[in-house]
Amino acid sequence: MARIYPFRAWRYNPSTARLDDVVTQPYDKISPAMQQAYYQRSPFNLVRIILGLPELFDADHGESVYTRAARDFRAWREQGVLVQEKEPSVFAYAQRFTVPGSAAVKERRGFIALGKLHDYSEQVVFRHEQTLSKPKTDRLNLLKATRAHFGQIFMLYSDPANAVDKILYDGSGPADAEVTDEYGVLHRLWRISDPGTINLLTTAMADKKLIIADGHHRYETALNYSKTYAANGTAKAEHSTTQLPQPPYPEAAVMMTFVNMDSDGLVILPTHRVVHGLQGFDAGRFAKAAEAFFTVSALPAADAAAHLDTLKRQKGTAFVAATRSGAWLLRSKPDAVASALADVPERQHQLDLTHLHVLLLDRLLGLDIEKVREQTNLRYLRDAAEALEQVRRGEADIVFLTNPVTMEQLKEVAFAGEVMPQKSTDFFPKLLSGLTIYALD
């Protein structure tokens, strides 16, 4: 089943760069403001490689964000800004955080290692969301230019007995590295190079099936890149004197963080839908039309926290739909919804987001699969307050606040080989990029 490998990671040299100044959130979670802030923190901040500013490059002389990324990565290694571990290792990775919207403090534990790339048809790695072509093209260009992976694919595995964590964290000493990010999350890393421990870990993971939590685009990019190398006969086997497991060739694996899906530290947040740019949108007509599938109840003026609290108390599928002229609680009518979703796989009838995308976005607002895929009239936001504010400012026609997908729902859909709508899950916190780097050569 799952094959994992230790690797000689490239890491920031603490004598040259403070970790706080150089690591980043995943590339797709970096806003323009964050991008600017990262640039200002350090000339060695990883954003310069994973999400460079286009205006800083000289396109007239053949330079691009990708060629500059490759140049910087090469220079940082030559200058000792990045140094390579002497021994193949895996890394225990713990994140301590306060759950957004609550006072609860949790710790999510996992480990960073290489993971073998599997086609979905092999039923070792399972996806749960659709992917888009544009992000995959962007990540492929970066991978081709740099020949390296700078962030980890977030993988879930099942381990009710918590056996893997016991191997990694039993008697853990002081962390080798730690950093607190802009969301107040404490990230800690322990390097593990002991061959006996690594072999125990690879054995414990050998029977696992994996679900991609975050990183679908990067996973599929790495998989296609690996297939290209294998098909062209350009893949070269690794040669090492170590007795530890290693990938058959560098491109056959990608850097991953593995987390136990049965642990209490796993938190999924909702991702709200912001609809904008609709021609002739009328809130009253929308509310009336929604009655075909939902019980529609007007809500008093309230802030985001109150609306989310209302949602949490509902049984069955429900949304808060907010416009400039008012907000409504929408609760699905089982009989009407069952008929409308007759062509949708049965297990997805239980997903709130299926009701939202099929009935509200597509049927009532005219946003078909293609428009959703291209995000023509749709934005996704974690912050419910910001979503409501966009409506109030006239930057959106209507906002749909949602409850989060549950881990059980995700498992059922993924292991059945099906997918949810885009941006169905928001795992918190994110994995920092730049803690470890996997260079293919």
> What is the tens place of the pLDDT at every residue in 327-339?
999 999 998 998 8
| Statement to judge: residues 177 and 115 lie in one domain | yes
Rounded mean pLDDT of 106-120?
A: 97
| Statement to judge: residues 98 and 235 lie in one domain | yes
| Statement to judge: residues 290 and 394 lie in one domain | yes
The pair of structure tokens assigned to 334 is: 């089982």
Rounded mean pLDDT of 310-315?
A: 94
| Statement to judge: residues 257 and 395 lie in one domain | no
| Statement to judge: residues 216 and 282 lie in one domain | no
At residue 373, the pLDDT reads 78
As a whole-number percent, the residues of the chain with pLDDT over 70 amount to 96
Distance CA 162, CA 183 (A): 27
Q: How crowded is residue 380: how many other Cβ atoms within 10 Å of its Cβ?
A: 14
In a domain, 360, yes or no: yes
| Statement to judge: residues 279 and 263 lie in one domain | no
At residue 427, the pLDDT reads 95
In a domain, 290, yes or no: yes
The pair of structure tokens assigned to 149 is: 């992976």
For 15-47, write each residue's pLDDT tens digit: 999 999 999 999 999 999 999 999 999 999 999
For 204-246, write each residue's pLDDT tens digit: 999 999 999 999 999 999 999 999 887 676 666 665 556 799 9
- Residues 254 and 222 sit within 8 Å (Cβ to Cβ): yes
Q: 76-104: string of b/e by CB count within 10 Å (b at 16+)?
A: bbeeebbbebeebbbbbbbbbbeeeeeee
Distance CA 263, CA 210 (A): 15
For 163-172, write each residue's pLDDT tens digit: 999 999 876 6
3-class DSSP state for residue 326?
Answer: strand
Number of domains in the chain: 2
At residue 89, the pLDDT reads 97
The DSSP bridge pattern shows strands 90-98 and 318-323 to be: unpaired
Strand-pair partners of 378: 275
Distance CA 12, CA 82 (A): 5
Chain mean pLDDT for the chain: 93
- Parent domain of 350: 271-403
CA distances from 284 to 290, 294, 329 (A): 10, 15, 14
At residue 195, the pLDDT reads 95
Residues belonging to the chain = 441
The sign of the CA dihedral 10, 14, 17, 18 is positive
- Residues 10 and 86 sit within 8 Å (Cβ to Cβ): no
CA-nearest of 142, 154, 147, 136 to 49 is 142
Q: What is the DSSP secondary structure assignment for residue 412, as one 8-state letter?
A: H
What CATH number has the domain bearing residue 384?
A: 3.30.1760
| Statement to judge: residues 255 and 359 lie in one domain | no
| Statement to judge: residues 241 and 279 lie in one domain | no
For 334-375, write each residue's pLDDT tens digit: 989 988 898 888 888 888 999 999 999 999 999 988 888 778
- The Cβ-side half-sphere exposure at 291, using a 13 Å CA radius, reads 9
3-class DSSP state for residue 231?
Answer: helix
Provide CB contacts within 8 A for 360, sequence distance 6+: 290, 319, 321, 330, 400
Rounded mean pLDDT of 152-158?
A: 98
Q: Tokens 């080798």, residue?
A: 176
